Amino acid sequence: MEERLWDAAVVGAGPAGLTAALYCARAGLSTVMLEKLSPGGQMATTNEIENYPGFPGVTDGFELADRMRRQAESFGASQRSAEVLSLRLEGAEKVLVTKAGEIRARCVILAPGAAPRELGLPNEAALRGKGVSYCATCDGAFYRKKTVAVIGGGDTAAADAVFLSGLCEKVYLVHRRGKLRASGSYAKKLQKENVEIVWDSVVEEILENEKGRVSGVRLRNVKTGETRALTLSGVFVAVGNIPATDFAKGAVPLDEAGYFTAGEDTQTGVPGVFAAGDCRRKPLRQIVTAAADGAVAAYAAEAYLQDQQQ
The residues near 294 (Cβ < 8 Å, ≥ 6 apart) are: 15, 16, 17, 18, 19, 20, 21, 22, 23, 109, 111, 276, 277
Q: Return d(Cα 1, Cα 129) in angstroms, integer.
A: 41
Size of the chain, expressed as the number of residues it contains: 310
24, 26, 27, 33: CA torsion to nearest 10: 20
72, 44, 58, 161: CA torsion to nearest 10: -120
Task: Identify whether the C-beta of residue 94 lies closer than 8 Å to the C-beta of residue 104.
Answer: yes
Task: Identify whether the C-beta of residue 93 lies closer than 8 Å to the C-beta of residue 105.
Answer: yes
Which residues are part of the catalytic machinery? 135, 138-139
The candidate with the shortest Cα–Cα distance to 136, out of 159, 113, 103, is: 159
The candidate with the shortest Cα–Cα distance to 168, out of 256, 259, 234, 84, is: 234
The candidate with the shortest Cα–Cα distance to 106, out of 17, 10, 22, 18, is: 10
How many CB atoms sit inside 10 A of residue 91's CB?
A: 9
Task: Identify whether the C-beta of residue 26 lies closer than 8 Å to the C-beta of residue 301.
Answer: no
